């Protein structure tokens, strides 16, 4: 079994408008997932520095970032990042360039953890429904074109407010959604913007939204999580 989580951490700016990376890490420690997809993990301007520095990760958690090598001081790609257990092995990693009007991308990595290989995709899709569908098609096409098809989990902020149309309908043709629940807005959740999806060779044993006091103040999104077993 592996536990995965997805969190739009909003550059560690909380609902109190304070940037507190340590609080973000406290939330991640509460969830205690093996693999975490982060969105808005880098600062927006300048060198796009990672908000969660290697020093903070070493002090507060049992994770290391997957290094995609796109920017020297960034954790991921267009704010998307993956954290994995320190004893996990990265077999392969790459970025997916997504069609968009503003900078958007996704990250993908094959991770070996406790003898199990899992492909993980992290993404943050567009505010526009038309572009979200184009981006969903790009992610699906990228995975379909792969020579290997290990058990795969896709996670991220899809920005989809509908119950089952738009990009959700596109993804549902290939993946099963975890019934995690409403994650936005953190203070009063009204929408399921954040999603976890898996291929048929993974079984969702449990899932949910993490609603601690820290989580309700650390970002405008609540983290979501799922426990997965090979089917």
Residue 54 vs residue 176, higher pLDDT: 176
Residue 157 vs residue 46, higher pLDDT: 157
Map out the domains of the chain with their CATH numbers. Answer: 2-230 (3.60.10.10)
- Reported as type and span, the H/E element at residue 56 is helix 54-60
pLDDT in tens, 18-46: 999 999 999 999 999 999 999 999 876 55
The confidence score (pLDDT) of residue 70 equals 66
pLDDT in tens, 53-94: 888 888 877 999 999 976 656 788 899 999 999 999 999 999
The confidence score (pLDDT) of residue 231 equals 85
Three-state DSSP class for 143?
helix
Euclidean distance between CA atoms 65 and 73, whole angstroms: 12
Q: Which two tokens stand for residue 56?
A: 């903070």
Euclidean distance between CA atoms 199 and 187, whole angstroms: 32
Q: Return the half-sphere exposure (C-beta side, CA atoms, 13 A cut-off) of residue 2.
A: 25
CB atoms within 10 A of CB 17: 6
Residue 149 CA to chain centroid, in angstroms? 20
- Reported as type and span, the H/E element at residue 174 is none
Q: Return the half-sphere exposure (C-beta side, CA atoms, 13 A cut-off) of residue 191.
A: 13
Mean pLDDT computed over 114-123: 97
The confidence score (pLDDT) of residue 74 equals 76
């Amino acid at each position: 079994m592996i536990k995965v989580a997805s969190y739009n951490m909003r550059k560690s700016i909380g609902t109190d408008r304070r940037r507190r990376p340590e609080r973000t890490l406290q939330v991640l420690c509460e969830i205690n997932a093996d693999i975490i997809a982060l969105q808005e993990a880098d600062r927006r301007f300048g060198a796009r520095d990672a908000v969660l520095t290697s020093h903070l990760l070493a002090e507060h958690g049992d994770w290391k970032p997957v290094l995609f090598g796109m920017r020297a001081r960034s954790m991921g790609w267009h704010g998307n990042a993956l954290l994995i257990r320190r004893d996990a092995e990265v077999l392969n990693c790459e970025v997916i360039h997504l069609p968009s009007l503003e900078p958007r991308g996704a990250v993908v990595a094959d991770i070996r953890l406790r003898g199990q290989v899992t492909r993980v995709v992290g993404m943050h899709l567009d505010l526009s429904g038309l572009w979200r569908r184009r981006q969903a098609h790009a992610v699906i096409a990228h995975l379909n074109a792969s020579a290997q098809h290990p058990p795969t989990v896709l996670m991220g902020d899809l920005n989809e407010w509908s119950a089952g149309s738009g990009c959700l309908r596109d993804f549902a043709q290939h993946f099963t959604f975890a019934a995690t629940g409403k994650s936005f807005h953190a203070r009063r959740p009204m929408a399921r913007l954040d999603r976890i999806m898996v291929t048929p060779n993974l079984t969702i044993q449990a899932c949910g939204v993490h609603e601690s006091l820290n989580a309700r103040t650390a970002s405008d999104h609540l983290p979501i999580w799922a426990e997965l077993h090979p089917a």
